[in-house]
Amino acid sequence: MRKIPAKDVIEAVARLCTGCNHHLPQDVRAAFERAHAAETDDVPREVFRQLLENADLAANSALPLCQDTGLAVFFVEMGEECRVDGLALREAITEGVRKGYGEGHLRKSSCDPFSRANTGDNTPAIIHIDLVPGDRLHIAFMAKGGGSENMSRVTMLAPAQGWKGIRDFVVRRVAEAGPNPCPPVLVGVGVGGTFEYAAMLSKKALLRSVDDVHPDAAHAARETELLDAINALGIGPMGLGGRTTCLAVKMAVAPCHLASLPLAVNIQCHSARHGEVTL
């Protein structure tokens, strides 16, 4: 059984929290540059100019990309032949969040849902853990902002609604969200599983890079169809009109019950902050 010192987990998680909140993923930045070139009107071009300048500023200063540095969401794959030494895995990740958000001057956005009292250290984090073969610990992190999360939805379609029902729900959701979730958005779509599993799939899909093509050709074609339909809405960056409403649609699919067609739409803002580490 391989032992991973808890302090290594704490340090790695703290670095993910601070690093991701300062450095826009390269694929997202490249998508901004392509969109800036593709827009023809002054207003959307100016939005992309500001977002590119903002990314440079955040990378080279103590200021994060966005004041909403998110709830800390983790997808963890724990090898069955390793364990964290000194703290439980969940405690080590939590300690890393506390350290990263505290020392990194990141905003603490976690609060009690009734009293609305801030927990003070951005914990508890949202941690999904899978056991996998091997002796490695893989940690994927996402800083998930509230504005885009608020525009996300889960629905249980009837199987008869099929692909058309899925497509209409996703496009309508982005249309209704309009300027609220900070477009251009990324859209995670979870299809199948159960009520909660569809939601998890839709979030996990957002960890894929902008340019990643779904390995299943039929799903890849569906992602492209959704992306084109969403961009045809003309919402544009910040809802001010333009060609770029969505940078990418990423779909994750799982088998579901005979009676069900679960569908989740997780909207991610343009500040699509995520990263991963293997220990």
Partner 1 sequence: MPVHHLTTPLTDTAVDALRSGDVILLSGTIYTARDAAHRRLCDALDRGEQPPFDLRGAVIYYVGPSPAPPGHPIGAAGPTTSYRMDSYAPRLHALGLKATIGKGRRDATVRKALSEHTAVYFGATGGAGALLAQRITAARVIAYDDLGPEAIRELTVKDFPLLVINDAHGGELYVTPQLPEGD
Q: Under the rule (CB under 8 A), what is the footprint of partner 1?
A: 42-43, 47, 50-51, 53-54, 57-58, 61-69, 105-109, 116, 118, 120, 146-147, 150, 168, 171-172, 175, 178-182, 229, 233-236, 238-241, 269-271
Minimal distance, residue 57 CB to partner 1, in Å:
4
How many whole angstroms separate alpha carbon 278 and alpha carbon 83? 13
**Residue placing its CB nearer to partner 1 in the complex, 78 or 170:** 170
H-type alpha helices, the chain: 6-22, 26-38, 42-59, 89-103, 146-149, 162-177, 195-205, 217-231
**Residue placing its CB nearer to partner 1 in the complex, 238 or 253:** 238
Q: Check residue 49 and give left, alpha or beta (phi > 0: left; psi -120 to 50: alpha).
A: alpha
Minimal distance, residue 189 CB to partner 1, in Å:
17
Cα 263–chain centre separation: 17
Minimal distance, residue 117 CB to partner 1, in Å:
9
Place of tokens 């250290």: 121
**Residue placing its CB nearer to partner 1 in the complex, 134 or 178:** 178
Minimal distance, residue 174 CB to partner 1, in Å:
8
Distances (CA, A) of 166 to 162, 214, 257: 6, 17, 16
Query: Would you state the structure tokens that stand for residue 78, as one six-digit string?
Result: 């724990």
**Residue placing its CB nearer to partner 1 in the complex, 105 or 128:** 105
**Residue placing its CB nearer to partner 1 in the complex, 155 or 194:** 155
Minimal distance, residue 215 CB to partner 1, in Å:
29
